[in-house]
């Protein structure tokens, strides 16, 4: 299957990837193209802006969370019916999971080159130490050309040496063009263009410094689009205009069309999980306080036989009618603690809810007795508070005991990302549900899994099946 595609990468974080990628998505959509948005890594926030830019769900591509073999199928699933796909990278081009700890036992075949015009490998990338789950890793798995966004401030001719290093570091990664960012003047642009073109690197655009397109950020990154609503739409419109006037969109499309066919079949949630006859209602928390979630989770729940209803804990005073199970994912409850605490009817209902509950990170905090001194649901014998410490990284976790979603000894490739801490009440001696190198956490029983660990269910579709099955017979662990 041939889908024109490209990866927007950079030498480092802060170079302007999100500006260029989101603006490019919106500018191409404004041309009447169907644009498929993707993000490398576990990030939840950028895909929200991608969705605004394209009118389609933002989707993540993460070899650590789902395994190498699912990256191309998930890409094809998300990009079905589209004219072009834009994949925003993460951090620097070659920055991946730290080399301590083994990668998941998937995709262990030999390294395979995929130059333009040839079919891409489906699995078995064979990357360098430290670049597993990097932007380069995903670009190789998709055989996609790379557009390198370079912060040109403070340099001119040296930009060519920088790009040359990134373009030659791994011959399996094809840097097909450069977008200069934070260009200061016509003369500055001319010097950078001349140096790059003399070195053989096409310049696809030059973006001037423009503070009006800055998106506000806070302790865990950009402010989610769902919290900004009209402001976020306006910000994406400004990015589209900026990229449209600064970049050669025709040249970008020509580069995207050099991507070869992928030797993979699109991922299908219906094939990943069997569907029962009865359809229980699974409520999934959303709204401004719970913005972190992967699109495939809802698709898997529906494929497993559930009817999915969205619940906003900031506004809804009761669970949706007929709710049989509850999913509370990630987000920023600490910023909405007062409003969540004020919704006492829903908190009481969640505390007494007899069905299965799956909670991640923000969901874990919401189920505690209190968060920063404000009452939460009290489903867990624990308190939560904000801290100054950022906890961030991939985790290779092992389940210590059984719960709604875990079975003893099972391994889970996950991600941790928070500035909060949870303290179990005195006398709570069950121990963590999950352990990993240097840590562990979580609460669980036959009807509950609650942990800081973020999981991508496409890599573990049985989790959706376990939740839906337990909503029909919650007393049985499957």
Q: Per residue in 294-332, pLDDT tens? A: 999 999 999 999 999 999 999 999 999 999 999 999 999
Residues of the chain with CATH 3.40.50.880: 269-472
Check residue 45 and give its pLDDT. 87
B/e letters for 375-407, b = 16+ CB within 10 Å, e = fewer, are ebbbbbebbbebeeeeeeebbbbbbbbbbbbbe
Q: Is 152 exposed, middle or buried (0-12, 13-18, 19+ CB in 10 A)?
A: buried
Write out pLDDT tens, residues 428-454.
Answer: 766 799 999 999 999 999 999 999 999
Check residue 396 and give its pLDDT. 96
**114 alpha carbon, distance to own chain's centre:** 25
Torsion of Cα atoms, 220 then 226 then 229 then 234, to 10°: 60
Check residue 209 and give its pLDDT. 85
Question: Which position among 82, 192, 247, 361 bears the catalytic label?
Answer: 361
Residues of the chain with CATH 3.40.50.300: 5-256
Which CATH code for domain 5-256? 3.40.50.300
Check residue 278 and give its pLDDT. 75
Check residue 473 and give its pLDDT. 60
Check residue 130 and give its pLDDT. 74
Quick check: is 361 catalytic?
yes
Check residue 428 and give its pLDDT. 78
Check residue 426 and give its pLDDT. 85
Write out pLDDT tens, residues 139-184.
Answer: 999 999 999 999 999 999 999 999 999 999 999 999 999 999 999 9
269-472 is a CATH 3.40.50.880 domain: yes
Check residue 252 and give its pLDDT. 98
Query: Is the pTM value of this prediction over 0.85?
Result: yes
Enumerate residue ranges in the chain where pLDDT < 70: 99-129, 212-228, 429-430, 473-478
């Amino acid at each position: 299957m041939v889908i024109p595609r490209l990866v927007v990468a950079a030498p480092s974080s802060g170079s302007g990837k999100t500006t260029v990628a989101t603006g490019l998505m919106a500018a191409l959509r404004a041309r009447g193209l169907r644009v498929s948005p993707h993000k490398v890594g576990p990030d939840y926030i950028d895909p929200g802006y991608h969705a605004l830019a394209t009118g389609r769900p933002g989707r993540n591509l993460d070899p650590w969370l789902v395994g190498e073999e699912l990256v191309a199928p998930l890409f094809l699933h998300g990009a079905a019916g589209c004219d072009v796909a834009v994949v925003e990278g993460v951090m620097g081009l070659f920055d991946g999971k730290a080399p301590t700890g083994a990668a998941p036992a998937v995709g262990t075949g030999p390294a395979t080159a995929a130059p333009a015009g040839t079919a891409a490998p489906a699995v078995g990338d064979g990357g360098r130490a430290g670049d597993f789950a990097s932007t380069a890793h995903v670009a190789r798995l998709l055989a996609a050309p790379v557009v390198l966004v370079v912060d040109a401030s403070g340099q001119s001719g040296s930009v060519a040496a920088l790009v040359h290093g990134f373009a030659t570091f791994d011959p399996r990664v094809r840097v097909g063009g450069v977008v200069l960012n934070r260009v200061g003047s016509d003369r500055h642009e001319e010097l950078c263009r001349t140096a790059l073109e003399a070195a053989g690197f096409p310049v696809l655009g030059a973006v001037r410094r423009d503070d009006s397109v800055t998106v506000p950020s806070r302790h865990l990154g950009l402010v989610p689009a769902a919290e900004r609503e009209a402001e976020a739409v306006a910000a994406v419109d400004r990015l589209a205009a900026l990229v449209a006037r600064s970049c050669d969109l025709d040249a970008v499309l020509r580069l995207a069309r050099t991507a070869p066919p992928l030797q993979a079949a699109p991922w299908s949630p219906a094939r990943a999980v069997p569907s029962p006859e009865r359809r229980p209602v699974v409520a999934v928390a959303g709204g401004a306080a719970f913005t972190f979630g992967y699109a495939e989770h809802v698709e898997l729940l529906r494929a497993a036989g559930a009817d999915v209803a969205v619940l906003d804990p900031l506004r809804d005073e009761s669970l949706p009618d007929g709710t049989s199970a509850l999913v509370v994912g990630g987000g920023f409850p600490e910023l909405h603690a007062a409003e969540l605490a004020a919704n006492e009817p829903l908190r009481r209902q969640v505390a007494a809810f007899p069905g299965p509950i799956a909670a991640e990170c923000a969901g874990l905090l919401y189920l505690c007795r209190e968060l920063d001194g404000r009452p939460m649901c009290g489903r867990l014998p624990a308190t939560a508070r904000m801290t100054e410490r950022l906890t961030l990284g991939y985790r290779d976790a092992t389940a210590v005991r059984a719960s709604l979603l875990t079975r003893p000894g099972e391994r889970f490739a996950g991600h941790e990302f928070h500035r909060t801490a949870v303290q179990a009440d005195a006398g709570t001696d069950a121990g963590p549900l999950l352990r990993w190198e240097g840590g562990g956490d979580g609460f669980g029983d036959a009807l509950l899994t609650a942990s800081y660990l973020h999981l991508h269910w496409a890599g573990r579709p049985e989790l959706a099946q376990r939740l839906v099955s337990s909503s029909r017979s919650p007393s049985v662990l499957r």
